[in-house]
Every structure is written in C-alpha cells, then in structure tokens.
Amino acid sequence: MALDALAFQMINGLASASGLFFVAAGLSIIFGVTRIVNMAHGAFYMLGLYLAVTLADRLPGPLGYWGGLLLAALAVGLLGAAVEVLLLRRIYHVPELYQLVATFALALILNDAALWLWGPEDLLGPRAPGLKGSVELIGRRLPEYDVFLAFAGPAVLLALHLLMKRTRFGRTVRAATQDREMVAALGINEALLFTAVFALGAFLAGLGGALQTAREPANLNLDLAVLGDAFVVVVIGGMGSIPGAYLAAVLVALVKALCIALGTVEIAGLAFNMSKLTLVAEFLVMALVLVLRPQGLFGRPQAAAARAAASEAPLRPMGGTGRALALAALAVALAVPALATVWAYAPVLALDMLIAVTFAASLHLLMGPGGMASFGHAAYFGLGAYGTALAATGLGLPTLPAFAVGILAAGAGALLFGWFCVRLEGVYLAMLTLAFAQIVWSVVFQWEEVTGGSNGLIGIWPDWPFDSRAGLYLAALAVTVAGLYLIRRLIFAPFGHALRAGRDARMRAEASGIDVARIRWLAFTASGMLAGAAGGLYAFAKGSISPETLAVGRSIDALVMVLLGGLASPAGPVLGAGAFTLLQDTVMRETDYWRALLGALILALVLLFPGGIAGGLSRLFAGGRADG
C-alpha cells in the first residue's frame, strides 16, 4: 500500500465524515431531548441535497450557490419544525416501537414526495464556485471541495459546542438530555424546546445533504443509505453525544479509507479486494465497540429499560371457537388449488399470502413474546432466499435439501447477528438490526461472482412434485402450518414463558435464574430460521431473486404486517399478513406512490388503531359480550 494513496483516501474520508457527522449529530441531539429515534433523518438529508441542487441551478452567481445551500438547509429545518408540531407531538407517549415505525412512515412519505417533485432520475448539481480546482498533495490531486468539507465538520462541531455551552438554549438542551423531569421543574416551555430541537436536528441533516451538492448526485436511495450509516456512527459514538458522533464518523470514514487504499491484498494465497469490504469493516468496528462499551464511546450507560407496562393479556390455549376457526381457515387454504379453474390468480395470491404469513409470524415471535423490534428482518428472509437459490442452482441440490440449506443459512446469520442484538434494548436493538440488514444487503449487492450482484439469480425452479403450481402451493401451506405450530409450541413451553418474563421484567427474570440473553438469542435464531424458510419459499415461488429481496422495504413490510394484525395477539401476524398481501397485490400495484400509501397506512395504524386487526376484533367481541 502506498502512503500517498492512504493520505489521499484519508482526506476523502474526512470529507465524507463531515456529511455523516451532520446527520448523526442531528439524530443524536433529537434523541437526547425527545427520546425519539428519527427514522426520517436520512430523508431530511436527501431533501437537503435535492433542494440545494435545485436552488443552485436557479440562483445566480457564487452568492446564489452558497446562499442556496443555506436556504436548502433552513427549509429542511422548517420542515422539521412542522413535522414535530404535526406528528411527533402525537406520539411522544406511545411505545418506542410505534415511534420508530411512525417516523419511518414519514420517511416513506418524504421519499415519494421527492419522487413526485424531482422524478426518478439522479440530479447532479453544479460544482462549487471558488472551489472547483484541486490541490496537490504528495503528488496526487485532491479536489479543493473535499478539503473544504474536511474542515467543515470540525467547524460545525465547534459551533455546536459553543451553542451548547454558551447559550441559554444550549444549556436547556443539555439539562433536558440529562434529566427530562428537570425541564418541567425549571418551568421551561417544553413544547417550544422540542420543536426547536427537532428543527435544529433537521437543519443539520439538511445541511449535511446540501453540502454534498458538488460531490454526489441527488437520488432517491440516499435516505436509507445515509440512515444506516448514521445509525452505525451513533451507536459507535454513543447516543446523545455530539463529540462522540464526530469521532465515530471519522473513525468509520478512516477505516473505510484504509480498506479502499489497501486495494486488493493477498491473504493466505487468496486475493481479497479490500475495497469491497468497506461496509463489513464498518460493522466490525461497531461490533467491537458494542462488545467493549455497549453504550458507545461517549454514551452514558443505558438506564434499565423502563418498559411501557405490558398491557398484553396472558396467552390462553385455543378454545373451541379458536380451534374451529383455525380448522376452517386450513380447509379454505386447502381448497385454493381447486379454485384455480374459476379464478386463475387465486393460487398465486394465496402463495404470496402464505409466504407473508410465515415471514410475519417469524417477526412476531421476535417482537411480540421476545419484545425485540427488528428493523432488519429482511436479512434473514434474504439469506434464506439466496441460500436456497444458490444451493439449487449453483450446487444443483434437489428442492428439499436446497430449502434446508436456505433455512440453515438464515439461522447462521441470525445466530451471528443475534448474539450482538440481544444484548441491547429498544431503539438500540432496532438500529443494530437495521444496520446488520444493510450490511447483508450490500454484501449481496457487491459480491457479484456469487450472488449475481444487482441482477440477482434466475432460474430457481423446484423439482417434482413441487414444480406444479398446486404442488408448490401445498408444500408452502405445509411449511406455514408447521411454522405456526412450532411457534405455538415454543411460546406455550417454558421457553416462551421465560422469553416473555425477560421482556416484562428483565432484572426480575435474571434474579430468578433465567439467562435472558441466551433465551433471547435462541428466539432470535429460531425467528431468523423461520424467516429463512419464508425466503426459500419465495425463491422457488418467483423463480428469480435480486437484492430487492432483502432490501429494507421488505423488513418494513413485515413490521407493518405484524402491527396491522396486532402485536399483542398470536393470530395477529396471520391476519396482518393476509390483509397486507391483499392490499399490496391490489391497491399498491396500481400506483407509483405506494410508499406514500404505505406510510399513510402506518401512520393511521399508529395514531388511530394501535391494537391492529386482532385488537379491533377482540374489542368488538368484548363489547358484544358486555352488551349481551
């Protein structure tokens, strides 16, 4: 490795670190005061970039360009204030999970707003006036703009430091971050503080985006990419710490720079292209930090999770009605192949539903009884799909062994990632699952020789007797029923009770001799394997898969299915997955703006029907009984 190459990559890395720092700092400040992890923060960054590109094109001269950047960031800050007043104020009191999905819904809506305003094409902004040239450094040419950005990060860090230390606003923010009750006691206008903090956080994200105008084109994938990176940075630096965010951003950027500078190296006779390992490297840094200092480099130890009191009713064995309903559903499901003669689409739709039910049920095991909200469950779905597909096409295994390989691949992934995840709680856990899923996605995306990269894998067909539509459907039905039965056994067994005990009162469970981390680890792995089974079915059902199979959108679909069905009921995922698939295959297929539609659906769920379908039904029942 040449030293000059490293130096070059480091300056480049510091430039990227600045952008990442702005987003992470905003995320951190907002979390510190409001305790909300804003999943829409990447969208703010993306909007900042789009707005800046647009303004730079319209406003004349250098003043127009730089003024436009600032205007774009300010506009995003204003948008943040509006979001706080209109949305967040309604969700401060709801459980963490609902806050996460609500802000994610906002991200979906903002993404479609950008699609509507700017179209699907990438937009490249003009170069920055005054900084178009490059400087020489150890025989290499560095863009002046990168050098400028590398200094912009520390400058904003300093400005934030002064803001926090020297102003009344800053002192209030710090007080609120340390002790929220104190704010009320001091007679500070809490509503105004929260709005201001959210606006500041959004402004920072918008600024981070706007400053990228001269470096990268605006595109619609940026929001999630940046969010994943910002999560990694915040986890490493410590939630709520601004210097931590900067240090972590630099650390991540430098590790990446090192990987790129190393290029292709030989390890034990094998050539590794290190530059493709950048995301894995990021993950390794995060994993190391989480093992050594779970609260992050500069974070405070997490207070024992103050759980929103579990209002869930105890699980009862299925009564006569429940059993009759389950049998009726099974009978209908068995009759579907016969329907094909009158309604050709029925088996296709029903197969989609079965896959969705298995997937949603696996996530429900994790989120419901396990109390662990995963924002990256698609990773295990995808590992199952790719494992199955590679075993079937690459290794040429028959259908059943290939399916087993898929499940094992997903299980191995869940075993590995779960070990880290189960040690965290709440939003930290959610962020980590999302970060892991992003990593799996990018590995699949980049590892072209094996996974086919963005083209994916094709020609994944099952052999006899699964090669007919009815055959595959009935096999999927068997897998789904077996999966649901397995989950039921698990949650009624001592394991399921210990799992719920650890969720309801972790310290209490530990003090009774329950190894909560291991119980949760096993649940995580079982859940991952079931998701993998769903993924394997998906691969055979579609015949081809692509990185889209394990993109974050699929994780969110699963979350919506679970919430739509009702988190507190074991029947929830079945109802939710059924309803969601129907909605997806009919309404959403008809519009380009399905993300916004999905976002609106999620917001409606969180704000109006937090109990989901199962909750609504049982309320209906209880009401009827009370009347009668």
Segment near other proteins (CB under 8 A), from 52-60, 450-458, 507-515, 597-605? 507-515
Q: Quote the CA–CA distance of 602 and 617 in Å, as a whole number.
A: 19
Residue 419 near other proteins by CB under 8 A: no
Three-state DSSP class for residue 171: helix
Residues 215/149, Cβ–Cβ less than 8 Å? yes
Per the CB < 8 A criterion, the answer to whether 544 and 451 are in contact is: no
Shortest reach from residue 521's CB to other proteins, in Å: 11
What is the SS3 assignment for 189-206? CHHHHHHHHHHHHHHHHH
Confirm or reject binding of residue 510 to other proteins (CB under 8 A): yes
Residue 533 touches other proteins, criterion: CB under 8 A: no
DSSP 571: T
> Which of 119, 263, 494, 623 is in the footprint of other proteins by CB under 8 A?
494
Interface with other proteins, residue 611, by CB under 8 A: no
For other proteins, the binding residues in 311-370 under the rule CB under 8 A are 311-315, 317
Q: Which of 4, 179, 515, 592 binds other proteins (CB under 8 A)?
A: 515
- Do 530 and 483 touch, CB atoms closer than 8 A? yes
Q: Which is nearer to other proteins, 142 or 567 (CB)?
A: 567
Q: Which of 88, 498, 530, 598 binds other proteins (CB under 8 A)?
A: 498
3-state secondary structure 209-253: HHCCCCCCCECCCHHHHHHHHHHHHHHHHCCCCHHHHHHHHHHHH
Question: Of 1-9, 128-136, 216-224, 305-313, which part binds other proteins (CB under 8 A)?
Answer: 305-313
Number of alpha carbons in the 13 Å side-chain half-sphere of residue 397: 15
Residue 100 Cβ vs other proteins, minimum distance, rounded to whole Å: 21
Q: Which of 53, 259, 273, 247 is nearest to 157 (CA)?
A: 247
DSSP for 513-528, written as a single string: T--HHHHHHHHHHHHH
Minimum distance from residue 485 beta carbon to other proteins (Å): 11
Comparison of 34 and 569: residue with beta carbon closer to other proteins: 569
Looking at 258-266, 359-367, 486-494, 557-565, which segment touches other proteins (CB under 8 A)? 486-494
Task: Verify binding: residue 622, other proteins, rule CB under 8 A.
Answer: no
From 252-260, 350-358, 499-507, 581-589, span contacting other proteins (CB under 8 A):
499-507
Considering only CA atoms, which of 297, 64, 220 is closest in space to residue 553? Answer: 220
For residue 335, what are its two tokens?
């009759």
Nearest distance, CB of residue 127 and other proteins, angstroms: 52
Q: Which of 155, 159, 265, 310 binds other proteins (CB under 8 A)?
A: 310
Which region, judged by CB under 8 A, interacts with other proteins, from 36-44, 156-164, 219-227, 485-493? 485-493
Phi, psi (deg, nearest 5) at residue 424: -110, 170
- The residue written with tokens 């990447």 in the block is 42
Among 1, 86, 324, 493, binds other proteins (CB under 8 A): 493
Is position 288 an interface residue for other proteins (rule: CB under 8 A)?
no
Q: Which of 393, 531, 365, 559 minimizes the C-alpha distance to 461?
A: 393
Per-residue b/e over 63-83, b at no fewer than 16 CB within 10 Å? ebbbebbebbbbbbbebbbeb
- Site size toward other proteins (CB under 8 A) is 34
Q: How far is the CB of 359 from other proteins (least distance, A)?
A: 21
CB of 301 to other proteins, least distance (A): 11
In DSSP notation, 270-309 reads EEEEGGGGHHHHHHHHHHHHHHH-TT-SSPPPPPPP----
For other proteins, the binding residue among 342, 511, 608, 626 (CB under 8 A) is 511
When the beta carbons of 474 and 522 are compared against other proteins, the nearer one is 522
Residue 363, class by beta-carbon neighbours within 10 Å (0-12 exposed, 13-18 middle, 19+ buried)? Answer: buried
Which of 97, 239, 279, 519 binds other proteins (CB under 8 A)? It is: 519
**Residue with smaller CB distance to other proteins, 224 or 522:** 522
Q: Is 179 in the site for other proteins (CB under 8 A)?
A: no
Query: Does 178 engage in binding with other proteins (CB under 8 A)?
Result: no
Cβ proximity to other proteins: between 195 and 569 the closer is 569
Interacting residues toward other proteins by CB under 8 A: 309-315, 317, 489-490, 492-498, 500-501, 503-505, 507-516, 519, 522
